[in-house]
Amino acid sequence: MNALLQSPADDALWVVCLCAEWCGACREYRPLFEQVAQAHPALRFAWVDIEDHAELADDFDVETFPTILVAGGDGTRFIGPLLPHAETLSRMLSALQPAQPSAAEVNALLSALRAAPERFEVRP
């Protein structure tokens, strides 16, 4: 296992926006998503285009944009469509449910994010 996969940051929850470049709502949501990332520095935020990264996102069967995934090493806290409002995402992040075991596609996506965070991570 490489050193990146063993870093303490692996314990942080990932907040992943599963989106598509062609989606106008997603393009408008990106700056708001970045604002939420600034307000929650203990979490890691990632933007995953489901078409550019189909090998990671196809199994999610995203039908509604934006779809948000909140997951970490302890499991999945949330996955589903969410209104594209910064306040809605912030409220949801403040009231996360206990982790549930993650599905295989969630574990695969998290592994890819950890292996190459620079490709996906939204940094304040």
Q: Both tokens of residue 112?
A: 């890819």
Find, among 108, 93, 119, the residue nearest to 12 by Cα: 93
Q: What is the pairing mode between strands 14-19 and 44-49?
A: parallel
- Which pLDDT score is estimated for 10? 60
- Tell me the whole-structure pTM to 2 decimals: 0.86
Would you place residue 6 in the very low, low, confident or very high pLDDT band (cuts 50, 70, 90)?
A: very low
How would DSSP label each residue in 72-119? ETTEEEEEEE--S-HHHHHHHHHTPPPPBPPPHHHHHHHHHHHH-GGG
pLDDT of 62-111, one tens digit each? 999 999 999 999 999 999 999 999 999 999 999 998 999 999 999 999 99
